[in-house]
Amino acid sequence: MDKKIALLIIDPQTDFCDAQTGSLYVPGAENDSERLAALLDRVGAGFDSIHVTMDAHYRDDIGHPLFWVDAQGNHPEVDIPAGKFPVVLSEEDLLEGRWTPADPEMRAWALEYVHTLASGNRYAPVIWPYHCLIGEPGGTIYAPVAAAVARWELTTGKRAHKVLKGMNRRTEHYSAVKAEVADPADPHTMVNRELIEALSAADEIAVSGQALSHCVANTVRDIADALGADQVSKLVLLEDTASNVPTFEALGEAFVGEMSARGMRLGKSVDYCA
């Protein structure tokens, strides 16, 4: 029986991959995307399925400046090319009033949210540049990857499975499997059983996307947890098709080390065979 190989492409979007227009550009992501597109064209039907995850945010998202104000009522300024890097939040920032939700009705939730992240072994909350806004150009799949996925669909007659995440403004959603903190009123923030079941059917899962330090890292961790320890070796990270958000490189390195120890394999797109 032929081995079923799934390709998981995490957030290959213009805001992350375009060096000229990307609001949260990840250095090297455009080259990662070209290599990924070349792999798709070379391997083609060797991939039994393709799954593409996509950030999909509103402007007032909890990870965006509009959600927050400082003690003087000013929204944070986050502009990576200008040297204004993302703001990492702590419980003390909220308790001491350095940052608070612009909407007073969100204060109780924000405190609960930050506390839950701090106590649940998830990433600290971050105020990012506005990115992957629904219906705006930055949220589209970066052109080289979009074209390669389209060619795969036309060649195989299959449909790439596309997974939207991040539409709930109350919680960050790095992982395509589940939000960083579940919103009890929104089932879309809870475990994506459809994605897990689809990936479970594969014998091997090749992983690519942006950014290695955040959405790739947390998606892969959650997939590994859902699949179980004996299935982690299904995962193959294509290292030359994923890069880190600037200043967060240590998170990417820690992820690769952790998941390699758990059984995830490492590979490169130029050598990968399906």
Whether 175 is covered by a domain: the verdict is yes
Same domain, 250 and 137: yes
pLDDT at 273: 85
HEC profile of 15-75: HHHCCCCCCCCCCCHHHHHHHHHHHHHHHHHHCCEEEEEEECECCCCCCCHHHEEECCCCC
Same domain, 166 and 258: yes
Whether 33 is covered by a domain: the verdict is yes
Residue 1, C-beta contacts closer than 8 angstroms, at least 6 positions apart: none
Whether 225 is covered by a domain: the verdict is yes
State the average pLDDT over residues 19-40.
97
CB 138 within 8 A of CB 23: yes
Omega within 30 of 0 (cis) for the link into 211: yes
pLDDT at 85: 84
Report whether pLDDT(274) > 80: no
Whether 45 is covered by a domain: the verdict is yes
Q: In the predicted model, what is the mean pLDDT of the chain?
A: 96
Higher pLDDT pick, 82 / 125: 125
DSSP secondary structure code for residue 120 in this structure = T
**Model confidence pLDDT, tens digit, residues 143-159:** 999 999 999 999 999 99
pTM: 0.96
Same domain, 223 and 250: yes
Higher pLDDT pick, 182 / 82: 182
Same domain, 135 and 233: yes
pLDDT at 82: 79
Residue 193, C-beta contacts closer than 8 angstroms, at least 6 positions apart: none
**Model confidence pLDDT, tens digit, residues 174-216:** 999 999 999 999 999 999 999 999 999 999 999 999 999 999 9
**Model confidence pLDDT, tens digit, residues 92-145:** 999 999 999 999 999 999 999 999 998 887 899 999 999 999 999 999 999 999
Same domain, 112 and 171: no
Same domain, 114 and 236: no
pLDDT at 198: 97
Same domain, 50 and 80: no
Same domain, 36 and 138: yes
pLDDT at 80: 80
Structural domain harbouring 249: 5-57+131-267
Q: For residues 62, 196, 54 and 3, what is the CA-based torsion angle, rounded to 10 degrees?
A: 160
**Model confidence pLDDT, tens digit, residues 215-228:** 999 999 999 999 99
Which residue, 246, 262, 263, 172, is CA-closest to 211? 246
Q: For residues 223, 132, 184 and 251, what is the CA-based torsion angle, rounded to 10 degrees?
A: 50
CB 40 within 8 A of CB 152: yes
CATH number for the domain that contains residue 246: 3.40.50.850
**Model confidence pLDDT, tens digit, residues 220-250:** 999 999 999 999 999 999 999 999 999 999 9
Structure tokens at 51: 């799954």
Site of tokens 């030359």:
240
Same domain, 195 and 116: no
Q: How many domains does the chain have?
A: 2
Report whether pLDDT(1) > 60: no
Domain end point (choices 127, 149, 166): 127
Whether 86 is covered by a domain: the verdict is yes
Whether 272 is covered by a domain: the verdict is no
Whether 274 is covered by a domain: the verdict is no
**How far apart, in whole angstroms, are the C-alpha atoms of residue 32 and residue 233?**
23
Site of tokens 């701090």:
118
Same domain, 31 and 79: no
Same domain, 140 and 189: yes
Type of residue found at 195: L
State the average pLDDT over residues 70-87.
89
Domain end point (choices 112, 127, 142): 127
Residue 155, C-beta contacts closer than 8 angstroms, at least 6 positions apart: 44, 45
DSSP secondary structure code for residue 216 in this structure = I
Same domain, 173 and 245: yes
> Interior CA angle at 214 toward 56 and 137, to 5°?
30
pLDDT at 119: 87
Domain end point (choices 127, 142, 177): 127
In Å, how far are 89, 90, 168, 225 from 181, measured between CA atoms?
A: 15, 15, 11, 16
